Chain A
Amino acid sequence: MGIIPQLIANSIIAGSTYALVAVSFNLVYGVSRAFNLAHGILGTVAAYMVFFLAEQNGVPLAAAIPLGIAAAALAGWLLELYVFRPLRERKVIDKVLIIASLGVSVAVEGIVAILFTNQYQSIANLIPHLGILKVGGAAVTSVQALIIVCALLTLVGFWLMLSYTRFGRAARAIADDEEVAKIVGINTPRIIAFIAVIGAAVMGLTGILAGFDTGLEPNMGFLLLLDGAIAAVVGGIGNIYGAFIAAYLLGFAENFGVWFVSGEWKYAIAFLALILCLLFRPQGILGRK
């Protein structure tokens, strides 16, 4: 049988996780132009919300998971309202937004660490009978299968939303040119806030799924974001389809890379891919110049 089927499965699982992060990151970046380094921390917030409700207080998962996602969405909305919107209205340069979002990420991570300690926590025992699927010689847990399904559904959902709804067309208009969109009567702050909430909810879901799959740590969101942001840039910043493709490429590059060297080199491989891409194709796979 060999190790290849499992490596392929692991690559697809990792790629799906990155895809969820990268696609939501690029959706938000597209309309708000915010290179939001605090995007990942929303996943941490959601995952710890589930941990707090379900693991510590016995709330059923059916309620805890939606509440976790809602917490991330709320956090994303507040962030847009009180940090990004004021900065955007002042027309600051992009570095200010990045530094501010980095500050948010660092601060929230610290708060989570104070509330729940810096230790690794597990919530996998909340699902007592975690099924394992055998697909072509590879073992995939049901959570991992769910991650793959969610990544595909998210992409299709975003595509339908952006292509076929009034709201989606307005969002694309803003992504094209915010000033012009405003002139033709689009309520741009409202649409941007909605998109921020949707992006945050998807990131929250990703954090929860990753929490079930690999466990919780306060820096989990930032680490997820690093891979997601790399995929977002490699795919073409602001382009959700490019981000999706790049996420899977990154998943394969990392997993086949660690086949040759040890697993700790994962981020080195990812960033090497990023740096190479920035040098030779700075606009990304599907990006426009």
Chain B
Amino acid sequence: MEYLLHLAILFSIFGIFALSLDLIAGYTGLFSLAQAAFYGIGAYTTALLMADAGVNFFVALVLGITLAAVVAFVIGFVFSGLRGDYYILGTVGFNFIIFTVFLNWQSLTGGPLGVAGIARPELFGFSFSSSGSFFLLSLATLAVAYGVSWFIVRSSFGRVLRAIREDEEAIAAFGYHTLYFKLAIFVISAGMAACGGALLASYLSFIDPNTFGITSSIFLLSIIVLGGLGSLRGPVLGALVLILLPEALRFVGFPDDIAAELRQVLYGLLLVFLMLYRPQGFLGEFKL
């Protein structure tokens, strides 16, 4: 039971990450490989405020989201002029820079040793210390993220985002300032990712830089490409499949270290085959 709850919590958190990435990659066509950097900012802010300063989780969460949003605003502005492949390379670079900061700003982040002893959230004297209550909290957050995404996608704002994805020049010719729309969704997405990152830090109670490297960003991209870009159910389904996959490998009898590498092989191959044979993923409406 405890083990199933563990998987359910991971699924909820990665569902949040996947939704946040789908908003920019699937709906707006901004293929960012920097999502791990943003949830890393959320995770580290929350972890450091809680472990070093004893700040309440929910206060730290808000500050983490704010910091991620501010960074996203600056980065989104810097990258706004980059086209296709350069955008991807630029975001890879940004993820690397943030990773390097986590790794090397030792006085603040603890460097490669990471931050330990991050507490579970507490609200009005109630502590989410049991796995069951933490699961409910993360599931509720996933539901909120889903609702927010649903609302964005259905709104006129969401329609403009899809138009930017299809043809940015055409929608700009209609008088829409595409930069504002791209910046807005980039900031929202980063905030959502940071929210998931805060939950992840609190759940694991320990974080180190490796959780937020470029590999994690690639993993997230394969989640949403698998589930389907430009749909809301797709990324959630993708998160479910790719969270359960390594566990399935373990049940089949692969040792742990091989299972980790094998998972990497599988999601790499998955990306290749999806691009070759089904670029819209399982449930996607947007065909690359």
Q: Is the interface of A mostly helix, strand, loop or mixed?
A: helix
Q: Which of B86-103 contact A (CB under 8 A)?
A: 86, 88-90, 92-94, 96-97, 100-101, 103
**Known A264-B104, A271-B97; contact A96-B264, beta-carbon cutoff 8 A:** no
A262 to B100 alpha-carbon distance, docked (Å): 11
Chain B residues with CB under 8 Å of A92's CB are: 275, 279, 288
Interface 9-residue window, one of B12-20, B77-85, B150-158: B77-85
B271–A265 touching, CB < 8 Å: no
Which listed residue (B90, B96, B263) contacts A278, Cβ 8 A? B90
Which listed residue (A98, A262, A267, A275) contacts B88, Cβ 8 A? A98
A94–B84 touching, CB < 8 Å: yes
B268–A94 touching, CB < 8 Å: no
In this assembly, does A126 line the interface, its C-beta being within 8 Å of a C-beta of chain B?
no
Residue of B78, B93, B265, B288 most packed against chain A (CB within 10 A): B93
User: In the complex, which residue of chain B has the Cβ closest to the Cβ of A101?
Assistant: B272
Chain A residues with CB under 8 Å of B58's CB are: none
Interface 9-residue window, one of A1-9, A108-116, A176-184, A203-211: A108-116
**Known A110-B268, A264-B103, A279-B81; contact A87-B276, beta-carbon cutoff 8 A:** yes
Chain B residues with CB under 8 Å of A107's CB are: 264-269, 272
In this assembly, does B59 line the interface, its C-beta being within 8 Å of a C-beta of chain A?
no
Which listed residue (B94, B222, B225, B272) contacts A104, Cβ 8 A? B272
Interface residue total, chain A, C-beta cutoff 8 A: 43
A110–B272 touching, CB < 8 Å: no
Interface residue total, chain B, C-beta cutoff 8 A: 42
**Known A99-B271, A103-B271; contact A114-B261, beta-carbon cutoff 8 A:** yes
**Known A99-B271, A102-B271, A274-B93; contact A265-B100, beta-carbon cutoff 8 A:** yes
A100–B271 touching, CB < 8 Å: yes
In this assembly, does A241 line the interface, its C-beta being within 8 Å of a C-beta of chain B?
no
Chain A residues with CB under 8 Å of B267's CB are: 103, 106-107
Residue of A35, A271, A279 most packed against chain B (CB within 10 A): A271
B222–A103 touching, CB < 8 Å: yes
Residue of B88, B215, B221 most packed against chain A (CB within 10 A): B88
Q: How far is the CB of A104 from chain B (nearest CB, A)?
A: 6
Residue of B82, B86, B104 most packed against chain A (CB within 10 A): B86
Which listed residue (B84, B97, B215, B264) contacts A93, Cβ 8 A? B84
**Known A107-B272, A275-B78; contact A98-B97, beta-carbon cutoff 8 A:** no
In this assembly, does B262 line the interface, its C-beta being within 8 Å of a C-beta of chain A?
yes
B275–A100 touching, CB < 8 Å: yes
Q: How far is the CB of A207 from chain B (nearest CB, A)?
A: 19
**Known A95-B84, A107-B268, A271-B97; contact A87-B275, beta-carbon cutoff 8 A:** yes
In this assembly, does A53 line the interface, its C-beta being within 8 Å of a C-beta of chain B?
no
A103–B104 touching, CB < 8 Å: no
A100–B276 touching, CB < 8 Å: yes
In this assembly, does A58 line the interface, its C-beta being within 8 Å of a C-beta of chain B?
no
Q: Is the interface of B mostly helix, strand, loop or mixed?
A: helix
Q: Which of A271-287 contact B (CB under 8 A)?
A: 271-272, 274-275, 278-279, 282
In this assembly, does B55 line the interface, its C-beta being within 8 Å of a C-beta of chain A?
no
Q: How far is the CB of B286 from chain A (nearest CB, A)?
A: 11
A265 to B269 alpha-carbon distance, docked (Å): 32
In this assembly, does B31 line the interface, its C-beta being within 8 Å of a C-beta of chain A?
yes
In this assembly, does B136 line the interface, its C-beta being within 8 Å of a C-beta of chain A?
no
Which listed residue (B81, B82, B104) contacts A262, Cβ 8 A? B104
A110–B97 touching, CB < 8 Å: no
Chain B residues with CB under 8 Å of A118's CB are: 257, 261
A100 to B215 alpha-carbon distance, docked (Å): 15
Q: Which of A69-124 contact B (CB under 8 A)?
A: 83, 86-87, 92-100, 102-111, 113-114, 118
In this assembly, does B270 line the interface, its C-beta being within 8 Å of a C-beta of chain A?
yes
B93–A271 touching, CB < 8 Å: yes
Chain A residues with CB under 8 Å of B265's CB are: 106-107, 110-111, 114
Q: Which of A30-73 contact B (CB under 8 A)?
A: 35
Q: How far is the CB of A246 from chain B (nearest CB, A)?
A: 14
In this assembly, does A224 line the interface, its C-beta being within 8 Å of a C-beta of chain B?
no
User: In the complex, which residue of chain B has the Cβ closest to the Cβ of A109?
Assistant: B264
Extra 4 A-B pairs, beta carbons < 8 Å, given A95-B288, A268-B101, A278-B82: A93-B288, A100-B272, A107-B272, A264-B103
Residues of A that sit less than 8 Å from B by CB: 35, 83, 86-87, 92-100, 102-111, 113-114, 118, 226, 229-230, 233, 262, 264-265, 267-268, 270-272, 274-275, 278-279, 282
| 7 closest residue pairs by CB, A with B | A103-B271, A107-B268, A271-B93, A106-B268, A110-B264, A110-B265, A100-B275
